[in-house]
Amino acid sequence: MRREQEFMDLLYERLAEMRTGAATTVSEALPRDGNNAQARLERDVLVAEQSGLLAAFDAGEHGLCFGRLLFRDGRDHHIGRIGIRRDDPERTPLVIDWRAEVARPFYLATGHTPMGLRRRRHLTTDGRHVTALHDEILDLADAVRTGHEGSDADAVLLAALDAARSGRMHDIVQTIQAEQDAIIRAPHDGVLVVEGGPGTGKTVVALHRAAYLLYAHREQLARRAVLIVGPNPAFLSYIGEVLPALGETGVLLATPDELFPGVTATGTDTAEAAEIKGRAAMADALADFIRDRQTLPDPVIVIDHEDGELRLDADLVRAARRHARAAGLPHNLARPHFAFHVIDALTAQLTERIGADPYGGPNLLGPDDIAQLGKAIAVSPEVHRAIEELWPALTPQQLVADFLAEPGHLPDTDADTIRRTSGGWTPADIPLLDEAAELLGEDDSAARAAAEAQRQEEIAYAQGVLDLTYGSRTQEFEDRDDDDSEVLAAHDLVDAEALADRQEEADHRSAAERAAADRTWAFGHVIVDEAQELSAMAWRLLMRRCPIRSMTLVGDPAQTAEPGGCGSWESILAPYVGDRWHHVRLGVNYRTPTEIMDVAARVPRSADPSFAAPRSIRSTGVRPWARCTDDLVRAVAETVARETPGEGRLAVIAPDSRCAALSAALPDAAAGPAPDLTRPVVVLGPRQAKGLEFDTVIVVEPAEFGASDLYVALTRATQRLGVLHTEPLPAALAELPTEAAAATVR
């Protein structure tokens, strides 16, 4: 213990030196302006790199070192959250990053396959203090004993599982199991599906996989960023500290309805409307709706012109439309093709009228005359209004709002269900907006032209400044009979561009921050939690975010609750990767004790007798209970007052319709769309509870839950579970003992 504490003291001293060095580098680099764009780029890269190191040092301080590997050949490595080296010429490692290949025996070695180890040590720390050691002897020929040997190899794991919850997910770097390690380190190319029932650790494994991929493929993924998609804000808050604690900050966490920049989903849909909007057929309906906006005149549009009327009839416009569609471009990008064809046709119409030879000869107008006529038509406001009517420029928001006001190309009953003329955007609208953006495209030619014109003005201005400053020198060189004037002119041109560049504000945002603001950003890897819940339209959006199809999908079809969820992995992935994906299943339940899992498993088993629940590795001896009451709100308040643990967290999981009343009766409880999960008590709906865990859970009125929601609610507890109800219990819970009976058994 003393030697490990001395090592820990040395380690934190070195961490302080590294933190000071990084902070000094940042403070010294920031004032540097540099005399060219390259110097400023190097400065910005240095600042970003050192700032990232500072963030990693700060986040990784807790539990900095948690293990030690002693090999039979004399090698001796400490294992920690981040790699730390001595400040010596050899840069000797003090602590090996848990993701390094040499650290794998910490997670994989067994007595049967020791991987060269003679012992594996787990270090338990409180802050910077070593509080306990646990040694596993892997080489039975090793006669050395320290007094910290333990016969139970799972003691460290079980201690972590029994610890009180804090309202935030913790990393598992100290307790990663072999099956989890294989998933974490799997190749990042292609799609990996990680399936597992409640409590199997699939979410935390996916997060550690993100940390590992950022370590193993730093250059690629740091530039493109990793996207982690979670089901709701409460879930993202719950997992938000895991990756920073592992030293990784280059990750964007978002819910599916946050993936269309500039739009916030504040509205709600009925379950039926959300399901319809999520169908793959909506993509075709939107495409057809756009084609409907590419209209024909009925019967003709007459445009006044000083040389007589111009006529846009159906045949002329049909030809222009056919020409534009043949370009194969999105609607807005094809619009110039339509406009040019219309302008050319009207120019030909006018040329024929005023230039026709009355004696039947060739047209009397020359090319310059025809060009002038074309320019006049091209700038005509009446012509532009006609083009806008026939092929309007559209935004995704405008298009989807028009579509929802009068849904086209859908069966009447579906159209009636989703029809909406007011209200905010809903989560189910976000994939529709993204689809519309793809179908419409963005014509940025004018913006690019304006930006280039602005840049040329800035260069010209900069050149003027240089001419005023160095004018006399320029004249001196121009009077000489050598080539130095050309050299100086070229030098001045470069300086002018560099001077103009210096006026542009550098983009200091991280890749994740830039990705959050860019709908077209292509991520290096995407992780999706509760993947079985996403609709077909949501998957179209996500696949656009990762064209290389490097993804980790996490979920459990048995927990599918959304009516629009795809459910099966085959139906999700077949349209995009066929059968080129890999599936693994986690079968060990680390969270839910046997007593609770036996009860929860009855819910899916009542519909599917062959259902196999994940195997729980823990037993608490505490049986779940149920109590019928006439005053539900009062019963919940009394139970919460009695059951709230001194340490840990309690959740009341109730039907959404009852959450407001229960929250009012529990004024100290956290509630709402993004509740503070670090509070001792929280009130949640069943969908909000997905992916979360609490020491104690009180499930309210289970008869009002759907089967999947009830299964989720019952499996959130790590220690104690109670059920309060006024209505008869579902058949699957009918045999739950009363509260008094359960206490007697305890």
Residues annotated in a binding site: 196-203
- Dist. CA 500–CA 576, nearest whole Å: 45
* Residue 199 falls in which region: left (phi positive, over 0), alpha (psi -120 to 50) or beta: left
Residue 647 burial (C-beta neighbours within 10 Å; 0-12, 13-18, 19+): exposed
Helices (H), 391-444: 396-405, 412-418, 429-440
Find out whether 185 and 100 touch, Cβ atoms under 8 Å: no
Q: What's at 421, amino acid-wise?
A: T
Beta-carbon contacts of residue 184 (< 8 Å; ≥ 6 apart)? 176, 205, 208, 209, 212
Q: What is the spatial distance between Cα 226 and Cα 242, in angstroms, rounded to a whole number?
A: 14
User: Using CA atoms, how far apart are residues 669 and 651, in angstroms rounded to an integer?
Assistant: 9
Which residue, 197, 109, 211, 205, is CA-closest to 153? 109
In angstroms, the CA 653 to CA 309 distance is 71
Determine the 3-state secondary structure of 655 from DSSP: coil
> Which amino acid appears at position 623 of this protein?
R
Backbone angles phi, psi at 7, to 5 degrees: -65, -40
Q: Which helix or strand (DSSP H or E) is residue 718 part of? A: strand 717-725
At position 246, the amino acid (one-letter code) is: L
CB atoms within 10 A of CB 195: 20
- The residues, ordered by sequence, that sit 6+ positions from 162 with a Cβ below 8 Å of its Cβ are 618, 718
Q: CB of 236 within 8 A of CB of 258?
A: no
Find the angle CA(720)-CA(724)-CA(729) to the nearest 5 degrees. 110
Estimate to the nearest angstrom the gap between the alpha carbon of 362 and the chain centroid: 65
First to last CA, the chain: 38
Cα 742 off chain centre by: 43
User: Which residues line the annotated binding site for ATP?
Assistant: 196-203
Q: Which two tokens stand for residue 245?
A: 């604690």
Structure tokens at 316: 């002329």
Question: Are 109 and 117 spatial neighbours (Cβ–Cβ below 8 Å)?
Answer: yes
Tokens of 716: 């959130």
C-beta separation of 697 from 717 below 8 A: yes
With beta carbons less than 8 A apart as the criterion, state whether 331 and 442 touch. Answer: no
* CA-based nearest residue to 547, from 251, 281, 224, 210: 224
Return the structure tokens found at 16.
């302080």
Neighbours of 418 (CB within 10 A): 23
In angstroms, what CA-CA distances link 303 with 317, 339, 350, 380, 388? Answer: 14, 15, 12, 10, 14
Q: How many CA atoms lie within 13 A of 351 on its CB side?
A: 21
95 in Cβ contact with 82 (< 8 Å)? yes
Strand partners, 84: 95
